Structure formats: structure tokens, C-alpha cells
Structure 1
């Protein structure tokens, strides 16, 4: 069974990781893909102060930081995984990545970093539900 686990460093994402760790015990062979997606639009205001390469490096470092907690939980459980930082529209990138990697299920936190961005753009989880044909498990 191949799982996609999009994470954003939030408590909800950690709950999703813990849920997946319990879930995969029922399977003989699993593949877990950790993914965090950085939205380049979110930092448009800093483009006048930094080069595109500097912004990408900062966002990649932030993405890697978002993966750390999930990686630590999976390593502690002894589960193999891959981890990747991607750039783009978050929900669409998650849906596309799931297809690219042949994932059968997406497991994700129901509430991410949220705040004003969520209020303005809507829930990433809701958008993923609308963009994919795959089963999506939302974890509180």
C-alpha cells in the first residue's frame, strides 16, 4: 500500500503521522511519501529584497524544517519513507504528486497552519478532496 502524507509542521500534521503509523501496522508492505509544499506566491512581497535563488533556498530550508517532526516520528516507528519539498499551489501539487508516485491513499491533517491564509484561500484539505480521485483520510 502506498501512502502520501502531506505535512506542514503543524500539530495536526503530527497527528496525521501518528495515525498513519498505527494504520500501517495492518499492512505487510507499505511505501510512505512525505511531502511538504511551499507556495511561492506567499512570499511575493520579499522579491524586491531577495533574489529568486535566495527565496527558493529559504523556502527549501523552511520546508525541510516542516518535515523534521514527521521524519522523526516515522524513524522512531522504524518505518521507511521518502521526503520531498516541492514548490507550487499547495493542494494541486499534493494531488499531482500523489498521482506521480502511484499513491493509493492520502492521509493528512485536517487543519494546517491556517490563520488569515486559510480564511482567504480556503482549506488545503478541502481543495485536495476536490482535486483527487484517491481516498483522503483527514486526521484531527
Structure 2
């Protein structure tokens, strides 16, 4: 059985990737599907001085749950089983590491997420993931 990773960030692009993953699961006659959302770490020393580690971790979890909501709704409606994980770290590297750890056969991801720069053809995270993994990556516009 195949294992598919779908990194999501709550954007419409990642929702389209989830829909493509549903098609892939159906075409493959089943697959293990992993949803992953990654939050970049807060690096500002000022934030860490004024907020506890627990408060920062709660923030990561809240943001992660919000980013997963659209994808989970689509998968639940389609009746597709999945696992979900919220991670913190450098986004592209964390996606690549997760894919390796879970022995994913492929990654299906949107070409652009919620990043601030809208002018690039491919998002910077997408471009970095392509360079970090040695498994197929399906990019969904």
C-alpha cells in the first residue's frame, strides 16, 4: 500500500492538493494518507522573554489545528482515513524529514501557500521540498 504525505497550511492551494490526494487514493485502490502542517519556529528573543514556552507551544498547536481544518473537512466528507500531525521547524526541511520518517512514497502539495510573496511561480517551500526529497512530488496548482 502506498503512503502519501500532504503538507497543508489552510490555503486554497493546499485544499486542492487534498482533493488531488483523494483522487490518488481512489486510483491506487487505497493508501495511507498523512496530513502535516508545519509552523516555522518563533526566533525572536523578545517573544520568548515575554511568553512562556507553554504559551508558545499552545500558539503552535492552535495555529496548526486551524491550518488542518479545511483539509480534514474535505477528507471527512470524502470518507478517507488519514493521520494528522502538527510540527514546528524549518518548513521545507520538516516536510522532507517527515516524509522520510514515515517512508512516504510520494508527496502531494500545492504550488503556493499562505506566504507573503505572491509573485513567484512556485512557492519557496515547494521549491525547497523538491530539492530535499528523492520521492515523487505532485504539485497541484
| 4+ runs deviating over 4 angstroms | 42-45, 116-119
Post-superposition CA distance 1:21-60 (Å, at most 9, x none): 1222111221000000111136655223211210111111
Unaligned 5+ runs, structure 2:
none
SS in 2 for 1:65: helix
TM-score, scaled relative to structure 1:
0.91
Q: What residue is the counterpart of 1:71 in the other structure?
A: 72
Cα distance in 2, alignment partners of residues 49 and 116 from structure 1: 29
TM-score normalized with structure 2 length: 0.90
Partner of 1:7: 8
SS at match of 2:79: coil
Q: How many angstroms apart in 1 are the aligned matches of 2:73 and 2:137?
A: 23
Task: Output the CA distance in 1 between the equivalents of 2:55 and 2:115.
Answer: 25
Partner of 1:18: 19
2:114 counterpart SS class: coil
CA distance in structure 2 between the partners assigned to 1:66 and 1:135 by the alignment: 24
Please say if 1:125 is aligned against 2:112. no
When the two structures are aligned, how many residues end up with a matched partner?
138
Paired position in structure 1 for 2:95 = 94
- Counterpart in the other structure of 1:41: 42
